[in-house]
Amino acid sequence: MRISDNMIAASLIVRLQKASARLFRLQEKVASGLAFSLPSQDPPAAMRAAALRSGVSELSRYRANCDVAAARLHLTESALANIADSLREAYSAALGMTPFDEAGNNALADRIHQIAASIAAEANAASEGRYLFSGHQTLTQPLTPNPDGVPPYAYQGDRGDIVVQLGRDVPLVTNIDAAEVLNMDGEIDPDRDDALETLRKAEAVLRSGDMDALANVLSAIQWHVDRTVALRGQVGARLQHVDLAKQRLEDGVRTLQSLLSETQDTDITRVLIDLKAQEVAYQAAAAAASALHRASLLEYL
């Protein structure tokens, strides 16, 4: 069967189109750095890449949660440190009480009054408009002055835990409420006064010069110091947990990103070699088509 020029031309056109498509695809790989741009180009690899990207996204969200948890816990730890220091100062002030020195004792009582106000301010600490020690009621100020005066402050928050997920099955409580910190309303020990009521009584003892009541006041203040220090230790342990979780998450993200790179990134060296070979093949096909066109024109003339 005789092969006509039209058949040869049609075959060359098909070959040119295929060569052009392969050349374009290789150029696209070099430009994008990706082994495939459409799932249809490599369905198995596309499925693996999608799963890996999902994993990276999930771990990145948990890593962001670690930052949120760490920020809140650092602020809480700082406030607890200040409260513990203030209680120690109040203990020292009460310990300085002496008989027959009314002016000196009143000065110490004034100092304890100021310390109580500073502790209340720490308990009302907020970050970005949200209170640290109100439980779930983060928009509600935890402590407000009690109109009756005894105890001096009332707790307005709740006992809710603010939980942050550091992993699928890794919840972490990131808050401590003021009721727990200061034993408000006897939440921790019903037989003991809250810290601010304890300081109010210490102030009254100093003003009255009642040396017999001093020992009980000092014991009560020390109990609150120990409680606050213990809570600060708990917060420190949670911060360590967050740091370890964040490190594991960062390692996981790096591992998944490496696998994702292996799955979807192109081998530039190999692609450049293939691109050069494809350019040669395309040029050869184009030259053959050009030669056929010239021959057909001569026959026509």
**Which pLDDT tens digit goes with each residue over 137-158?**
999 999 999 988 899 999 999 9
Question: 99-103, 121-125, 287-291, 293-297 — which one is most confidently predicted on average?
Answer: 121-125
Q: How confident is the model at residue 257 (pLDDT cuts 50, 70, 90)?
A: confident
> Which tens digits make up the pLDDT trace of 32-73?
555 556 666 678 878 888 898 899 999 999 999 999 999 999
Residues 298 and 223 in one domain: no
Is residue 39 a part of any domain in this protein? no
Residues 160 and 300 in one domain: no
- pLDDT for position 297: 43
pTM of the model as a whole: 0.77
Residues 124 and 240 in one domain: yes
C-alpha span between 78 and 273 (Å, rounded): 60
Mean pLDDT score, 203-222: 95
- pLDDT for position 30: 55
C-alpha span between 288 and 93 (Å, rounded): 102
Residues 106 and 209 in one domain: yes
Domain extent at residue 142 = 52-258
Lowest mean pLDDT across 27-36, 204-213, 283-292:
27-36
| Average pLDDT over all residues of the chain | 84
Residues 126 and 226 in one domain: yes
Number of domains the chain is built from: 2
Ramachandran bin of 173, using left for φ above 0, alpha for ψ from -120 to 50, beta for the remaining angles? beta
Is residue 40 a part of any domain in this protein? no
Residues 215 and 282 in one domain: no
Res 12 pLDDT > 80: no
Phi and psi torsions of 171, nearest 5°:
-80, 150
Residues 118 and 251 in one domain: yes
Residues 122 and 178 in one domain: yes
